[in-house]
Amino acid sequence: MSSKQTHVNVKRYAMVVDLRRCIGCHACSAACKSENDVPLGVWRTWVKDFEKGTYPKVRRDFLPLFCNNCDAPPCVPVCPVGATRKGEDGIVIINPHKCIGCRYCMAACPYGMRHLHPINNVVEKCHWCLHRVKAGLAPACVDVCPTQALHFGALHNPTDRVNRMLIDNPVQTLKPELGTSPHVFYIGLDVRLVEGE
Amino acid sequence: MSGKTRNWILLSLLVVFTIIGVAALVERMAQGLILANFTSVLPWGLWLSLYIYFIGLSAGSFLLSTLVYVFGVKRYEPVGRMALFQALGCLILGLIFILIDLGRPERFFRTIVNWAPSSVLAWEIMFYLAYIVILLVEMWILLRPDLIPRSKLLQRIHRPRRSTILTPKEKSIVRILAIIGIPVAIGVHGGTGMIFAVVKARPFWHTGLFPLIFLISAMVSGGALLTFLTAFFSKIEQSRRGQIVRSLAKLTATVLILDIFVLFIEVVVVLYGDIPDHTHPYNLLLAGPYWWVFWIVQILGGSVVPLVIIFGRRTSDKLVWLGGAALLIFLGVIGVRLNIVIPAQQSAWFGGGPAAYHFLKNPTGYFPSSNEWLSSLGILTLGVWGFWFGRKMLPLESEHGMAETDVEEKDNTHETDN
């Protein structure tokens, strides 16, 4: 789990989130909204915060959430019209011209990462700013993170920094037990952040 | 108040509801899903619940009709056509509900053009199509002998028939269609259960029992509707009608007990296992904000009271009581459907509990919006109109059926029941 073995000739991107660095500023959420024109009332990425301990020994922890762009995405096979699919670079995308808005994929996503566009009435999701990735840039949330808690890179490039981070650090994914093989890896993920309260 | 005044009041109420409901439907089509109270966490609501409710009613009614057309149970012969008509009407209502539930209803044809075989929902569409064809052909062959003498138009385009009795060939066609219809109807509603059962993201749905629960409660609702309609709206003569209603009510009640039993198994297994992801939706179901949908609508009103009436010594042979009990069961299944759809989504366990959605306004506290209620009302009134016209225009209660034969030809159906 800790290090994803990927063939060099198969494109696969990954995100590494260093939770020890996250200060909960929500800059990633805001950058995503502006980069992707995400309408009011819905979000593609957000930060969960969690208070631990009792006064005076307290601490606030944060968990930024993005689409995991799973290797085995449960949202893809359920689409009745094949509007959503995993692209060649491993990023799950939606064809807005095909989507009928049945929201089956929203029900099927274990991470609740999809939303309905309130005006176009089709489902949308975080695609790690695919348009930027194709242009050789990092996603907007990664670029804007003031503490460099977010990292984005190519698993298929052995010299990429994310490969080094995945080797050097114990990492965790969300709901690994579902076998979806998520590609957002968290360093320093606290069990209390992922367990419900 | 005389019966005539009462009828006029009911009719004008229906007209008012229809106007309001159709206006709500028009508004929903114009403005889109923004009118509904869905959230990113809880994408399926009242419309989807009513969709599975009506699809279940349809499949249940069809399976009841096969008692007549496949298994040759003579006792139910007079209500066989009604069961088929119910199956067709409820299927259409269910499809309207799923249509307005789509974000882009105008793209519904894509489910056929861009058919994606990996999706259970896509397979369901195929099942619905096959099912609607079987229903229409079966009804056409059954009703044709009685329909032709009634309609001038049909007399002009259809070649004349000698008698109003089905020929042996027609009977075998009906029988074969009904036999093919059994797996298709099971696919229609068991498959609707599969839509939910394959979703591993919601542990509440992710159980092999789900298609089974769907099918059993479909039989319950279909039987209850047929009992209710036969008890109150049928023109079959009194003693025969009483016999049918009593027998149908007992049948429905027996399946209802099986339904409760399967639910009981599931609840015990889940609560015993006590896995948080799995227990949480059940806690919401049993003691959440909508506890009353489970305890009052589904258990008390939809199961306990009707069972007491149907098996009670004083009430078990009174038509009005049995019809009322059937109505209660019929309404209680709405609660069953809501309980399937809503609590599973209210327990948003994605990557860290409901608190993960602090920025969303009330992410899991779903209550249908006014447009959701009113447009549902509109579709229901369309159903009432459909029933009214169908009963007026179609020979749904003719005595001609599978068991009846011409004098000279021998009856080859097995008659085990009289």
Q: Do the beta carbons of residue A102 and residue B101 sit within 8 Å?
A: yes
- pLDDT single digits (tens) B331-347: 999 999 999 999 998 88
Contact assignment for B104 to A122 by CB distance below 8 Å = yes
Residue B79 scores a pLDDT above 60 = yes
- pLDDT single digits (tens) B118-143: 999 999 999 999 999 999 999 999 98
Which of B120, B353, B361 is the closest to A196 by Cβ?
A: B353
pLDDT at B250: 95
* Global pTM exceeds 0.90: yes
Q: Do the beta carbons of residue B69 and residue B138 sit within 8 Å?
A: yes
Contact assignment for A196 to B349 by CB distance below 8 Å = yes
For residue B25, give Cα distances in angstroms to A19, B29, B90, B153, B213: 47, 6, 18, 33, 31
pLDDT at A130: 95
Give the confidence band of B184 by pLDDT, cuts at 50, 70, 90: very high
pLDDT at B409: 44
For residue B309, give Cα distances in angstroms to B306, B320, B333, B334: 5, 11, 17, 20
Taken in order of first residue, the domains within chain B and their CATH numbers are 3-393 (1.20.1630.10)
Give the confidence band of B42 by pLDDT, cuts at 50, 70, 90: confident
| Of the candidate ranges A48-52, B231-235, B236-240, B319-323, the one whose mean pLDDT is the lowest | A48-52
Mean pLDDT of B259-270: 95
Residue A15 scores a pLDDT above 80 = yes
pLDDT at B316: 85
Which top CATH class is A13-72+126-190? alpha beta
Instruction: Please report residues of A whose CB lies closer than 8 A to that of B29.
Output: none
- pLDDT single digits (tens) A56-110: 999 888 889 999 999 999 999 999 999 999 998 899 999 999 999 999 999 999 8
Q: Do the beta carbons of residue B350 and residue B41 sit within 8 Å?
A: yes
- Smallest CA–CA distance, residue B274 to chain A, in Å, is 14
Residue B379 scores a pLDDT above 80 = yes
Residue B326 scores a pLDDT above 50 = yes
Query: Between β-strands A13-18 and A184-187, what pairing exists: parallel, antiparallel or unpaired?
Result: parallel
**Which sequence spans correspond to the domains of chain A?**
13-72+126-190
Instruction: Please report residues of A whose CB lies closer than 8 A to that of B356.
Output: 46, 48, 63, 65, 112
C-alpha neighbours within 13 Å on the C-beta side of residue A147: 13
Average per-residue pLDDT for chain B: 89
Q: Do the beta carbons of residue B261 and residue B212 sit within 8 Å?
A: no
What is the per-residue DSSP string for B232-275? HH--S-HHHHHHHHHHHHHHHHHHHHHHHHHHHHHHHHHHHH--
Within B227-277, strands assigned E span none
Structure ipTM: 0.90
Eight-state DSSP code of residue A10 = S
Q: Which residue is associated with the tokens 């029988």?
A: B175
Q: Which residue is associated with the tokens 């519904």?
A: B108
- Smallest CA–CA distance, residue A134 to chain B, in Å, is 27
Contact assignment for B356 to A65 by CB distance below 8 Å = yes
pLDDT at B418: 41
- H-only helix segments in B288-415: 291-292, 305-311, 319-346, 370-393
Give strand pairing partners of A14: A153
Contact assignment for B103 to A111 by CB distance below 8 Å = no
Which of A82, A112, A196 is the closest to B276 by Cβ?
A: A196
Q: Which of the residues B104, B115, B129 would you substitute to probe the A interface, choosing the one with the greatest number of A C-beta atoms within 10 Å?
A: B104
pLDDT at B399: 64
pLDDT at B156: 82
Give the confidence band of B4 by pLDDT, cuts at 50, 70, 90: confident
| Omega within 30 of 0 (cis) for the link into B368 | no
- B219: tokens are 């039989």
List of residues 6+ apart from B109 with CB closer than 8 A: none
Q: Which residue is associated with the tokens 């044809």?
A: B109
Contact assignment for A78 to B119 by CB distance below 8 Å = yes
Three-class secondary structure of residue A179 per DSSP: coil
Q: Which of the residues A60, A79, A103 would you substitute to probe the B interface, choosing the one with the greatest number of B C-beta atoms within 10 Å?
A: A103
pLDDT at A42: 87
Average per-residue pLDDT for chain A: 90
For residue B388, give Cα distances in angstroms to B233, B323, B399: 10, 18, 20
Q: Do the beta carbons of residue A90 and residue A11 sit within 8 Å?
A: yes
Task: Pick the residue from chain B with its C-alpha nearest to A194.
Answer: B352
C-alpha neighbours within 13 Å on the C-beta side of residue A46: 23
